[in-house]
Chain A
Amino acid sequence: MATVNTNHKACTVNPLKMSQPIGAALAFMGLNNCMPTLHGSQGCTSFGLVLFVRHFREMIPMQTTAMNEVTTILGGMENIEQAIMNIWQRAKPDVIGLASTGLTETKGDDVDAYLKLIRARHSEIADMAIVYASTPDYVGAFQDGWSKAVTCIVQETAVPCSVKQVNRVNVLPGSHLTPGDIDEIREIIEAFGLDAVFIPDISGSLDGHIPEDFTPTTLGGTTLEQLRTMGAARATIAIGEQMHAAAIELEMKTGVPYTMFDRLTGLEANDRFLQHLSVLSGKPVPMKYRRQRSQLQDAMLDAHFFTGGKKVAIGAEPDLLWSLGNFLVEMGCELGAVVTTTHSPVLEKLPAEEVLIGDLEDLEMRAKECDLLITHSHGRQMAERLKLPFLRYGFPTFDRLGAAHKVTVGYQGTKELVFELGNTFLADEHDATPETWRDRIRTDFGEVDTASACTSNGSCASCN
């Protein structure tokens, strides 16, 4: 159980957090033939775009309503209308995913009403879905934006279906899952003879494939047809606490029951997941996964020598923190310093003393006694200063390749994580020298001070 604190600084130094609108934009990128659009100034989109390009090393479709001083004050309806019509004319997307920003929320644009008026004026765009999420920059963080966008996608597109697809399962993945994670989860679910439809599905659009032709919108991801038939599924699986709201929304709108999985990293977490799939499908757990489970057990045994007793400093968004943090503790590590970005019900359940909602400066102050640093790429400066081994997890990872293909879910993904952790500690082992213990004995056990010997005549603890 952890105490959850918020730092009380006026100035954030070295932000861990990113803003809600780009979290929403990433969720929209998991829809097929979609154009994520931020309702704000051109910079709001441009900063996000650059960040996504650096992380995924992919072409990123993302547009802006290009608000300026005057349009902000007069209201952004015209800009939204123009943006929608321009995007429609140029790219003919199936979906426009619209997210507001700090700028337009401060002004108080009533985007829901604007969209109604725009729809009334333009019958030609009737078939195009428009999903709007309210995501002010000055509230919450990246994963909140993702969570809100997915909830809005469900609200906007899910309908009850009378004809059921008996094998279909809806999966609502949190923003902490990579395209590689999603592929792995899909494979596991399909091994039980079930069809998994991910909402949203960035494994289709941001997995780094080479398309045959140029497209200005997303390519791959959940199709509009799949969104409209969410209600036909037999069950929904939500992964990560941030998806709770969307799962509830989906059940309320369509009657499809949901099951929450707080994480899919770790032995026990995956046992629960596979058992659930087995019950759901009425099929036994395939041999392939029984074998993988045994491999994971073996990997954990091999690694536990090196991970036990290590102190880890970790900075991550709540759901990623929950996945990695719990697993680190299961591998015998101690969470020596924990910083996150936004509130979540999982935080106080984390096996750490304190969880701080703060920044990387806070983490740096607390990480001095730690053996390993885990955070996104912005941890690189502090890792260098503290001379700590550093594992990059989370978004953005811009100074290493393959961020989209990193897998930490399933038995196999967990096994990869075990090896990465173990190897990092192995590489950082320090050889003993004749002096190693000389200082330690002096400082750790305390030197006997003979000069000021005990004068309490046998009444103190050390005399007895």
Chain B
Amino acid sequence: MATLSEKVQDVFNEPGCDKNQAKGEKERKKGCTKQLTPGAAAGGCAFDGAKIALQPITDVAHLVHGPIACEGNGWDNRGAKSSGSQLYRTGFTTDINELDVIYGGEKRLFKSVREIIDKYDPPAVFVYQTCVTALIGDDIEAVCKAATAKFGKPIIPVNAPGFVGAKNLGNKLAGEALLEYVIGTEEPEFTTPYDINIIGEYNLAGELWQIKPLLDELGIRVLSCISGDAKYKEVAYSHRARAAMMVCSKAMINVARKMEERYGIPFFEGSFYGISDTSESLRQIANLLVARGAPSDIIMRTEKLIFREEIRAWKQINHYRPKLQGKKVLLITGGVKSWSVVSALQESGMEIVGTSVKKSTDEDKEKIKDLMGEDAHMFDDMRPRDMYAMLKESRADIMLSGGRSQFVALKVKMPWLDINQERHHAYAGYVGMVELVKQIEQALYHPVWEQVRRPAPWETVPAITAEAKAA
């Protein structure tokens, strides 16, 4: 079994990642995690990333082995939706105390697994390592191995303690856990030539369900979504899919690539944000399936569906176009979402005045340049102060970003729309794009802006002073 540091090296050395391949040997060893600046850092840790990637698996118990902070401060905080079990929203943690720190927490961990199985009987338990328990040397792999043998159920160690790196690394380490312990351990009841995996889709706000009706209509079966609205067994038999689509940037590229290597499942990188991206992804799925031996009529059927859906979506978007034409958007988000949303917004007549490329690869940046022109405003790391200034000086009409920076916009009384994990609206596929445009229109023309921007009467008319009264 590989040690944690070997695993970290392994995911850093990802041949499927173009950015990594462009580096020299020495640079590659350093990995893709930027060294954080103490006192000027932002973002989640590796454990956070691992949890984001796996928690959408709905019917398993997610057990966090560590002090209360890791689970107590952050449980049930994401919008990944489930069509069945709600067990994934239950917060399980060993909540270790001072004595555990001194004597070790392995026994408590083992007992915790037993209690969970007795009370909740899930098909599997995922055990997450954290900083403190890693530092004191708790061997979660050994405990999980013993528990698996004892209880006859898969108990999966997810070894991504927070201090090994940032969120993105945690995503990948979570993927490694799936590859090592879950994928390929069960068999589906039957297979079809139309079975696909969707990798890196978390079903936030139910976005998978905006895509699934399209796939259903084409007769394409999502054998396994890793990990949105997934059941444990679906991930366990995902190795029988014919093709795969990798959704969220490079977060789980190691899963897609290693599944290609081990099980011969070809994959492509695509996005369901934006109309043309959605169409392109559907085409690619159909093509890959045909290349793997599916009847070729699916290509024509896909084209027909795309034709119909695009017309329908454009008709609806055109309805909003006059009000959105020329509106300036500041887009602050990470990864591949940047360019896929850029093209989507441009499609509806808006101008992107700036976008963050913090987590984007060089390839992503090229795509943004293609879309926005050479003088595209790309910010590597935009400080809140700069966003504030940009909005205050009206260089942008609306900001789209994650929840943490919303107040930068709201405090200058400018419209803002949530496009991150905690959002309440789903924006995938054709219907999702229409919804996004509708939400932007609603935000821009909301009656609240005019009211809150109007100064109080006593701030504009000369103040009634004592002298004026006397005169």
Taking Cβ atoms with an 8 Å cutoff, the residues of A that contact B are 9-15, 17-19, 21-22, 37, 40-51, 53-54, 57-59, 63-69, 72, 79-80, 82-87, 90, 101-103, 106-107, 136-139, 141, 210-211, 214, 216, 359, 378, 381, 398
- The answer to whether B43 and A42 have CB atoms under 8 Å apart is yes
Task: Answer whether residue B384 sits at the interface, using C-beta atoms and an 8 A cutoff.
Answer: yes
Task: Answer whether residue B293 sits at the interface, using C-beta atoms and an 8 A cutoff.
Answer: no
B134 to chain A, nearest CB (A): 8
Name the A residues within 8 Å of B404 (CB-CB). 49-50, 53
Task: Answer whether residue B165 sits at the interface, using C-beta atoms and an 8 A cutoff.
Answer: yes
Interface positions of B from 321 to 362, Cβ below 8 Å from A: none
Interface positions of B from 21 to 67, Cβ below 8 Å from A: 36-48, 63, 66-67
Name the B residues within 8 Å of A22 (CB-CB). 69, 73
Task: Answer whether residue B19 sits at the interface, using C-beta atoms and an 8 A cutoff.
Answer: no
CA distance A102 to B64 in the complex (A): 15
- The answer to whether A10 and B38 have CB atoms under 8 Å apart is no
- The answer to whether B98 and A138 have CB atoms under 8 Å apart is yes
Name the A residues within 8 Å of B45 (CB-CB). 41-44, 46
CA distance A359 to B112 in the complex (A): 14
- Given A72-B135, A138-B101 in contact, is the A44-B69 Cβ separation under 8 Å? yes
- The answer to whether A137 and B67 have CB atoms under 8 Å apart is yes
B92 to chain A, nearest CB (A): 6
Name the A residues within 8 Å of B67 (CB-CB). 19, 102, 136-138
Task: Answer whether residue B132 sits at the interface, using C-beta atoms and an 8 A cutoff.
Answer: yes
25 A-B residue pairings within 8 Å (CB atoms): A10-B109, A11-B92, A11-B112, A17-B95, A19-B69, A19-B72, A43-B47, A44-B69, A45-B41, A47-B70, A47-B73, A50-B404, A51-B73, A53-B407, A64-B36, A65-B38, A65-B39, A68-B163, A69-B164, A90-B40, A102-B131, A136-B67, A210-B411, A214-B385, A214-B388
- The answer to whether B94 and A87 have CB atoms under 8 Å apart is no
**Which of the residues B44, B76, B89, B109 comes within 8 Å of A46, measured between beta carbons?**
B44
**Which of the residues A9, A49, A80, A359 comes within 8 Å of B38, measured between beta carbons?**
A80
Name the B residues within 8 Å of A50 (CB-CB). 74, 77, 403-404
Name the A residues within 8 Å of B72 (CB-CB). 12, 15, 17-19
With A12-B91, A14-B75, A46-B48 already in contact, 9 other A-B pairs whose C-beta atoms are closer than 8 Å: A18-B69, A41-B131, A44-B45, A54-B77, A54-B422, A58-B407, A66-B41, A86-B38, A106-B132
Name the B residues within 8 Å of A69 (CB-CB). 163-164
- The answer to whether B96 and A86 have CB atoms under 8 Å apart is no
Task: Answer whether residue B394 sits at the interface, using C-beta atoms and an 8 A cutoff.
Answer: no
CA distance A429 to B458 in the complex (A): 48
- Given A41-B163, A82-B37 in contact, is the A59-B93 Cβ separation under 8 Å? no
CA distance A381 to B85 in the complex (A): 13
- The answer to whether B165 and A68 have CB atoms under 8 Å apart is yes
Name the B residues within 8 Å of A136 (CB-CB). 67, 98
- The answer to whether B115 and A83 have CB atoms under 8 Å apart is no
Name the B residues within 8 Å of A381 (CB-CB). 76, 86, 89-90
Task: Answer whether residue B146 sits at the interface, using C-beta atoms and an 8 A cutoff.
Answer: no
- The answer to whether B74 and A59 have CB atoms under 8 Å apart is no
Query: How many of chain B's residues touch chain A, expressed as a range?
Result: 35 or more
- The answer to whether B403 and A54 have CB atoms under 8 Å apart is yes
- The answer to whether B36 and A138 have CB atoms under 8 Å apart is no
Task: Answer whether residue B108 sits at the interface, using C-beta atoms and an 8 A cutoff.
Answer: yes
Task: Answer whether residue B175 sits at the interface, using C-beta atoms and an 8 A cutoff.
Answer: no
The 6 closest A-B pairs by CB, nearest first: A43-B45, A83-B39, A11-B112, A86-B39, A10-B111, A19-B69
Name the A residues within 8 Å of B100 (CB-CB). 138
A9 to chain B, nearest CB (A): 6
CA distance A370 to B66 in the complex (A): 33
- Given A378-B75, A378-B76 in contact, is the A67-B384 Cβ separation under 8 Å? no
- The answer to whether A214 and B389 have CB atoms under 8 Å apart is yes
Interface positions of B from 421 to 465, Cβ below 8 Å from A: 422
CA distance A129 to B407 in the complex (A): 28
CA distance A69 to B41 in the complex (A): 16
Interface centre among A21, A58, A64, A136 (most CB of B within 10 A): A64
- The answer to whether A102 and B41 have CB atoms under 8 Å apart is no
Please give me the residue from chain B that is nearest to A214 by CB atom. Answer: B388
Name the B residues within 8 Å of A57 (CB-CB). 407
Name the B residues within 8 Å of A83 (CB-CB). 38-39
Name the A residues within 8 Å of B116 (CB-CB). 11, 13
Interface centre among B109, B136, B385 (most CB of A within 10 A): B385
CA distance A54 to B420 in the complex (A): 13
- The answer to whether B98 and A11 have CB atoms under 8 Å apart is no
A85 to chain B, nearest CB (A): 7
Task: Answer whether residue B97 sits at the interface, using C-beta atoms and an 8 A cutoff.
Answer: yes
CA distance A84 to B86 in the complex (A): 43
Please give me the residue from chain B that is nearest to A37 by CB atom. Answer: B39
Please give me the residue from chain B that is nearest to A59 by CB atom. Answer: B407
Task: Answer whether residue B166 sits at the interface, using C-beta atoms and an 8 A cutoff.
Answer: yes
Name the B residues within 8 Å of A9 (CB-CB). 115
Name the B residues within 8 Å of A53 (CB-CB). 403-404, 407
**Which of the residues A58, A63, A359 comes within 8 Å of B41, measured between beta carbons?**
A63
Interface digits, B103-131 against A, CB 8 Å rule (1 contact, 0 not)?
00001110111111001000000000001
CA distance A57 to B406 in the complex (A): 9
Name the A residues within 8 Å of B403 (CB-CB). 50, 53-54
- The answer to whether B93 and A11 have CB atoms under 8 Å apart is yes
CA distance A327 to B180 in the complex (A): 55
**Which of the residues B43, B77, B97, B408 comes within 8 Å of A139, measured between beta carbons?**
B97
**Which of the residues A13, A17, A64, A378 comes within 8 Å of B68, measured between beta carbons?**
A17
- The answer to whether B39 and A87 have CB atoms under 8 Å apart is yes
Please give me the residue from chain B that is nearest to A43 by CB atom. Answer: B45
- Given A54-B77, A103-B163, A211-B411 in contact, is the A21-B40 Cβ separation under 8 Å? no
Interface centre among B91, B384, B413 (most CB of A within 10 A): B91
Task: Answer whether residue B162 sits at the interface, using C-beta atoms and an 8 A cutoff.
Answer: yes
CA distance A45 to B422 in the complex (A): 18
A356 to chain B, nearest CB (A): 14
Name the A residues within 8 Å of B164 (CB-CB). 68-69
- The answer to whether B135 and A106 have CB atoms under 8 Å apart is yes
- The answer to whether A42 and B98 have CB atoms under 8 Å apart is no
**Which of the residues A43, A102, A211 comes within 8 Å of B48, measured between beta carbons?**
A43
Name the B residues within 8 Å of A378 (CB-CB). 75-76, 91
Name the B residues within 8 Å of A210 (CB-CB). 411, 413
- The answer to whether B39 and A19 have CB atoms under 8 Å apart is no
Interface centre among B76, B113, B131, B404 (most CB of A within 10 A): B131
Name the B residues within 8 Å of A42 (CB-CB). 36, 41-45, 162, 166
- The answer to whether B108 and A10 have CB atoms under 8 Å apart is yes
**Which of the residues A44, A80, A106, A359 comes within 8 Å of B162, measured between beta carbons?**
A44
